[in-house]
Structure 1
Amino acid sequence: MAEDIEIETSSPRGTKRKGDDSLPLPAPRRIKALAQDVVNKIAAGEIIVAPVHALKELIENAVDAGSTALEVVIKDGGLKLLQITDNGHGIDKEDLPILCERFTTSKLKAFEDLTSIGTYGFRGEALASISHIAHLNVTTRTKESSCAWRAYYADGKLASPKPGQSAEPKPIAGRPGTQITVEDLFYNVPSRRRAFRSASEEYAKILDMVGRYSVHCLGVSFSCKKHGDTTSGVSVPANAGPVDRIRQIHGSAVANELVALKAENERWGFKCEGWISNANHNSKRTTLLLFINHRAVESPAIKKSVEQTYATFLPKGGHPFAYLSLDIEPQRVDVNVHPTKREVHFLNEDEIIAIICDEIRNSLSKVDTSRSFMTQSLLSNPKVPFATPMKQTTPSTPTTADTSDRHSAKTVSKTITKKPYENNLVRTDASARKITSMLQPHPSVDGGANDEDEMDYEYTEKTATVCRLTSVKELRAEVRDAMHNELTDIISTHTFVGIVDEEKRIAAIQGGVKLFLVDYGMLCNEYFYQVGLTDFANYGSIRFNPPLPLEELLTVAAELEKNNAGDAADEVDWEEVVESVKEQLINRRLMLIDYFMMEITKEGQLCSLPLLVKGYTPSIAKLPQFLLRLGPHVDWDTERGCFQSFLRELASFYVPECLPLPPSASTTKDASGKGKQKVAEEDAEIALRRKNIRRAIEYVIFPACKARLVATRGLLKGVMEVANLKGLYRVFERC
């Protein structure tokens, strides 16, 4: 059989064939220098890999320039627009021609300076790289300059903004500092531009980078938002401390569980400060904010060591939060090892990491042996879910059953739900039983079944007035800038519990699994002020029929002030005060009716007041004092001051009045010696006012605040956390 097999041996596999000697060999390629344009684009591609890298360079340049306020505006993830504005030293006009040339810097003079570098940037390649792959313009002004200068750049050189125009910097109006605008990033590198998957993903990276420097750069305010948005993705004030900055960026769940960390060693020439989470906090992934000599960097070795240190303190699958700032002697650090300066190398890395991890271990051990549980704090994290979703569970496999039984058990398991933990259970149904139902009911004032007064409303065909006054727009912007995101979320998602004290004007609300006491007087004051700004010149009106005499109302208020002033009352001519305020209001009656729907006749008759919210009428008992305060407490000389002070007084007038506490039950003994409880009767008028206030607060004011109130930082003083269901469970678990 073997002899019958034919084997072809003409071209065996695996053997080397000889080349054809008759074919000519290719000529050797000559080595040529790349064109400068190609060199610049290659360098730009190494330094600016994504929009976030361009922003990192610009942030570092701004902080190096002594800025205390940075504003970042992003469009399409930074590919369409990337703008950063600072209030730093600015750039001299004479330096603008070489600003975007490669290796032009104000931070190095000799190579030896690298051993003592103390700034973020030093190579002078950031702006040069950006100018080769984007449209770049710079607006800058120094303190000594009388105007700002704007320059456009292309390929590292000055360029004209439009064809035919001069490329020289042009003088314009501007504030001290620098604004750098990068448009159409990677417009001439289409392959790089197509590599980005989504603008939202790039914007998330930018927010993360801005958040890192916001935590680290104390004394510098940061703001980052999308182009055209009114709210900021990141907003950190300049006076915030490290913990407050972490709270703003990463939430209260992290900030409430932080431990300070300090480590240093003279032998290895380093100091480390930071904040780390304790054993009570764990998340799905590690968050490490690492700064070496104030530069945001990444270090897989440090991250891995920190995670291994926490492994003995956290449950399986838990990860920590850590913010570490290392100061290492500059001569021990080589910062020039990565094009984007994302990584740095330093001497004695293993020894330094070991010391830091030992200090982390010691800090966590101290906290674990003696823990302090917070029973009261100013605010909490509003992002705690109101109810834990029901999760499907699979029961254990039955031991005595056949295959069909096991199959049916798996089928049934799909409908079995797991009961949520008790510390996540929250009542959010407004129809459920409330705390007020447990109190002893008071008898009705007039004996009727329904005391609610039906108000008659008359609707007009008047069209809404669009407010174009700059002063009002500025006041609205002030409210937006003072917004506290966490408190706004709590108010907008709260559940009203009940009024605690009408005398101190305190109400209880529930947010998530936490209970808060709120100064509703302060809350109402801010709400009605914002309504006054939002609906400016578009209020309804409360009409008096017949009109009220202005002089008599002012006289009543003056008598009240005179009685409260005591001995100082004789120093004031109250009749003159009444006459002065009356004349002031009459002389400005046209403005009052146009902007505030407050109608006053020439004869001094008050015909109407502004109506800010439907279903609620302010206490008329406060009207005389409101009118009297309009004289000395309103800035009638300036437009902005007038609107602001008048709306503040109007909001104060609309705040529900303070009422004395309801009479309590007293115990008396009869002839037999047995005690009987007797409730003192309350004045009918006070009881009616109390009932109206309670109804208005629960069914009108708090629902309105929930719908449209922008909670400002000033309201933090009026909100206090008194109970935390999760915190209480945590305390009792360790008792």
Structure 2
Amino acid sequence: MPDGMDVDEQPRGVKRKADETRTLSEAPRRIRALEQDVVNKIAAGEIIVAPVHALKELIENAVDAGSTSLEILVKDGGLKLLQITDNGHGINRDDLPILCERFTTSKLKAFEDLTSIGTYGFRGEALASISHIAHLTVTTKTQESSCAWRAQFSDGTLVPPKPGQSAEPKAVAGRPGTQITVEDLFYNVPTRRRAFRSASEEYAKIVDLVGRYAVHCSNVAFSCKKHGESAAGVSVPSNASTIDRIRIVHTSQVANELLRLEIANERWGFKAEGWVSNANYSIKRTTLLLFINHRAVESSNIKKAVEQTYSNFLPKGGHPFIYISLEIDPQRVDVNVHPTKREVNFLNEDEILEDICNEIRSNLGKVDTSRTFMTQSILPAVKAPTAAISTPQPKGGTKASDQGSRENTTTRKSSVQKLTTQRPYENNLVRTDAKVRKITSMLPADQRSTSPTKGGDEEPPEDMQYEYSDKEPIICRLTTVKQLRAEVRDNMHNELTDVFSGHTFVGIVDSSRRIVAIQGGVRLFLVDYGMVSNEYFYQVGLTDFGNFGCIRFNPVLDLEELLRMAASQEQERARNADDLDWSEVIQTVKDQLISRREMLAEYFSFEVSERGELLGIPLLVKSYMPCMAKLPGFLLRLGPYVDWTDEKGCFHSFLRELASFYVPEVLPSLPSSVDGQGTVEDPEIASRKKHIDRTIENILFPAFKSRLVATRGLLKGVVEVANLKGLYRVFERC
């Protein structure tokens, strides 16, 4: 032991005596109640762990309010902005002062009500918790109210929007329903805010949550997108079926391989329904959408049991897709076991789980008599993989002789070789290359389309000069535009939309009637591209509302002169309207456009000067120039055919007229002169025809494929003329 070193002679692990303990502190610490602000922040931290948990509470509140449409806007993964807009019954103005206080709810009155709770929320902690860790704004309107009310909250109480202003709710314009805006989430909890790794990861969690409720909540439309982007991460119409909702959220690959699940048991007091994948579908990780009494929950027990059931049907490493909606007698369920209601407890869990797994096992066994596997031959002569179908072999059998075994082995080898070298059936062959051969190559030379083909010498499309501005994209918040977009989504025809999204362009059939042929799978369709173009340009106008490009005229055009040209054409076309004062019509339309030039420029990039000069018109699609011969008629129709008195009617009618202007024109098919050598076309018409054909194939139909929502009205313009499998069934008899 070195000298000068102080050592505690008391060995380690020996407790100090009572009198020694007292000397360490002058007095024992007293028990005190925490301050209310600390209590509230602790409670908020338990309920709102991440932006996705805040959104879950808001979605459940919106659905509880009877909403049929939910629009969600996210910025920076929900940390900067999280906004949800619904069309529910709203909140009374008198209830706003206590809206964000803890344990204020309209869904629970006595503790006994927990035994029969039938709503998503009941404790009244969601909005209170959010208000303690974010800036919360609520805008709401009931059906009986003459206006909407907007209020700001902080720490559970009303606060003024700006210093010096009143904290009372303010009357504003708004539609029925509620809009909740959460800004700067966790602004006063910096340690938790720094814990989030990336905004994209948080947004992915939000999209997953919205997708779960979009699948489960029938008759409710969901839309979720990032702030500043026009395309939505999730967009589900209200009239979509459960299968269509799964197809939209989780792709057609799983939607085409689903089995219906329905089971009920009065003894255990439950009913389960949903959709589960069959044995032909497997993924690397199980997708489980579980709802108990319509509440999205997680259950490791159910997940493990279902995975064990599928292990006998799927290859090693394969996992299923399961969507189960489990309804249990509320008196058998305890929903108040987790702050975020992510977990619930219910009676007879093992028995209920066993019944569900037995039903899944039974359904899988019914369809397991035919399984599809893809095989790839290694022989150089074989280029395409083929599909082989394996059937179950009967159990048991007699012992074969050595000679029989050798014969069976030889037979098996020859069967495998034949199986791997056979080609697919012709009635399943589909067009894979749009450039191999067009339908127009089979027509006479004078009727062939001038669309470019491989090795052709057609002229390249005309060059266009573009200037790019630094203008920031505008997020459209107009209720009328959102209503028009919702009308398009509600009118969507799912099957026809799938045809356009996966079609192959075949060729132009008749330019004078504006008919083209497209192929979807093994079916051939004739399409009126004029009707489809009109609907597409209208949807582009709604999607890019306020963010159009501009076609500028240099030199500028005289608006009155263009209107006079259109009036003279109308006068020749309608000779029985001689009593109409066309000069008054021209002046009225001109004054109408000049008086509304600011609105037209802001919303539509339609620029008119005070002196009546047309400076520019909207640009809807890059690399496509509408026919300028239709411009005078388009301008004249903006007077009587646009409803300038109603906002929604104005936007709808203006975009319809703009879409009609952008539709490719119909060129005359008659020759301009005839000589002894045959028909001679006008060079100008022939050149324009080439340009239109090239535009239809290379610009418009690829655009239809990427973003067209086919509505039911387009069914009149699409006719199925051939189905390869149907033709084979007819001709195989010959």
Alpha carbons of 1:425 and 1:113: their partners in 2 closer, same or farther (altered >3 Å)? same
Structure 1 stretch 633-642 or stretch 215-224: which is displaced more? 633-642
What displacement does 1:37 show? 2.1
Equivalents in 2 of 1:36, 1:167: separation in Å?
Answer: 21
Equivalents in 2 of 1:706, 1:93: separation in Å?
Answer: 51
Please tell me whether residue 647 in structure 1 is matched to residue 642 in structure 2.
Answer: no
Counting matched residue pairs gives 611
Name the residue aligned to 2:301: 301
Q: Deviations over 1:142-174 (max 9, x none)?
A: 222233222222222222333333333233333
Name the residue aligned to 2:605: none
What displacement does 1:330 show? 0.2
Equivalents in 2 of 1:18, 1:538: separation in Å?
Answer: 91
What displacement does 1:535 show? 6.3
Name the residue aligned to 1:4: none
Structure 1 stretch 146-155 or stretch 41-50: which is displaced more? 146-155
What displacement does 1:361 show? 2.5
Contact 1:513 1:724 in 2 (8 A): yes
1:246 is paired with a residue of what secondary structure? helix
What displacement does 1:198 show? 0.8
1:713 is paired with a residue of what secondary structure? coil
Please tell me whether residue 507 in structure 1 is matched to residue 516 in structure 2.
Answer: yes
Q: Deviations over 1:387-432 (max 9, x none)?
A: 99xxxxxxxxxxxxxxxxxxxxxxxxxxxxxxxx9999998777x5
Letter in structure 1 aligned against 2:232:
S
Equivalents in 2 of 1:333, 1:508: separation in Å?
Answer: 58
What displacement does 1:218 show? 1.4
Query: Which of residues 713, 719, 730 is equivalent to 2:710?
Result: 713
Name the residue aligned to 1:434: 437
Letter in structure 2 aligned against 1:166:
S
Equivalents in 2 of 1:15, 1:723: separation in Å?
Answer: 95
Equivalents in 2 of 1:427, 1:325: separation in Å?
Answer: 41
Structure 1 stretch 523-532 or stretch 204-213: which is displaced more? 523-532
Letter in structure 1 aligned against 2:310:
Y
Name the residue aligned to 1:97: 97
Equivalents in 2 of 1:78, 1:221: separation in Å?
Answer: 21
What displacement does 1:126 show? 1.0
> In the TM superposition, what are the counterparts of 1:584-733 in structure 2 within 5 Å?
590=590, 634-635=641-642, 640=651, 643-644=654-655, 646-647=657-658, 649-651=660-662, 654-656=664-666, 684=679, 695-696=690-691, 698-705=693-700, 710-714=707-711, 717=715
Name the residue aligned to 1:142: 142
Alpha carbons of 1:635 and 1:193: their partners in 2 closer, same or farther (altered >3 Å)? closer
> In the TM superposition, what are the counterparts of 1:314-713 in structure 2 within 5 Å?
314-369=314-369, 433-436=436-439, 439=442, 442=445, 478=484, 482=488, 496-499=505-508, 505-509=514-518, 518-527=527-536, 538=552, 575-577=575-577, 580=580, 590=590, 634-635=641-642, 640=651, 643-644=654-655, 646-647=657-658, 649-651=660-662, 654-656=664-666, 684=679, 695-696=690-691, 698-705=693-700, 710-713=707-710
Letter in structure 2 aligned against 1:355:
D
Contact 2:638 2:657 in 1 (8 A): no
What displacement does 1:223 show? 1.5
What displacement does 1:586 show? 5.2
Equivalents in 2 of 1:515, 1:306: separation in Å?
Answer: 42
Give TM-score, length-normalised by structure 2: 0.68
Structure 1 stretch 189-198 or stretch 152-161: which is displaced more? 152-161
> In the TM superposition, what are the counterparts of 1:16-415 in structure 2 within 5 Å?
24-26=20-22, 28-369=28-369
2:21 is paired with a residue of what secondary structure? coil
Q: Deviations over 1:507-544 (max 9, x none)?
A: 3457899987644333333356678995677579999x
Equivalents in 1 of 2:461, 2:43: separation in Å?
Answer: 74
What displacement does 1:476 show? 11
Alpha carbons of 1:282 and 1:458: their partners in 2 closer, same or farther (altered >3 Å)? closer
Equivalents in 2 of 1:454, 1:47: separation in Å?
Answer: 61
Equivalents in 2 of 1:473, 1:146: separation in Å?
Answer: 17
Letter in structure 1 aligned against 2:151:
A
What displacement does 1:47 show? 0.9
What displacement does 1:299 show? 1.1
Equivalents in 2 of 1:185, 1:471: separation in Å?
Answer: 22
What displacement does 1:577 show? 4.3
Contact 1:305 1:353 in 2 (8 A): yes
1:261 is paired with a residue of what secondary structure? strand
Letter in structure 1 aligned against 2:74:
I
Contact 1:529 1:648 in 2 (8 A): yes
Q: Deviations over 1:173-208 (max 9, x none)?
A: 332222222222112222111111111111111111
What displacement does 1:716 show? 6.3
Structure 1 stretch 114-123 or stretch 501-510: which is displaced more? 501-510
Alpha carbons of 1:185 and 1:467: their partners in 2 closer, same or farther (altered >3 Å)? closer
Contact 1:497 1:510 in 2 (8 A): yes
Equivalents in 2 of 1:716, 1:196: separation in Å?
Answer: 46
Name the residue aligned to 2:396: none
Alpha carbons of 1:698 and 1:92: their partners in 2 closer, same or farther (altered >3 Å)? same
Contact 1:310 1:319 in 2 (8 A): yes
Name the residue aligned to 1:414: none
Contact 1:527 1:705 in 2 (8 A): no
What displacement does 1:703 show? 1.6
What displacement does 1:119 show? 0.4
Letter in structure 1 aligned against 2:20:
P
Contact 1:289 1:322 in 2 (8 A): yes
Q: Deviations over 1:56-113 (max 9, x none)?
A: 1111111111112212111111111112122222222222222222211111111111
What displacement does 1:589 show? 7.1
What displacement does 1:139 show? 2.0
Alpha carbons of 1:635 and 1:100: their partners in 2 closer, same or farther (altered >3 Å)? closer
Give TM-score, length-normalised by structure 1: 0.68
1:229 is paired with a residue of what secondary structure? coil
Equivalents in 1 of 2:115, 2:573: separation in Å?
Answer: 74
Structure 1 stretch 91-100 or stretch 46-55: which is displaced more? 91-100
Letter in structure 1 aligned against 2:709:
T
Letter in structure 2 aligned against 1:83:
Q
Letter in structure 1 aligned against 2:290:
L
Equivalents in 2 of 1:471, 1:298: separation in Å?
Answer: 35
Listed as ranges, the gaps of 5+ residues in structure 1 are: 1-10, 373-386, 389-420, 559-574, 597-608, 661-680, 726-735
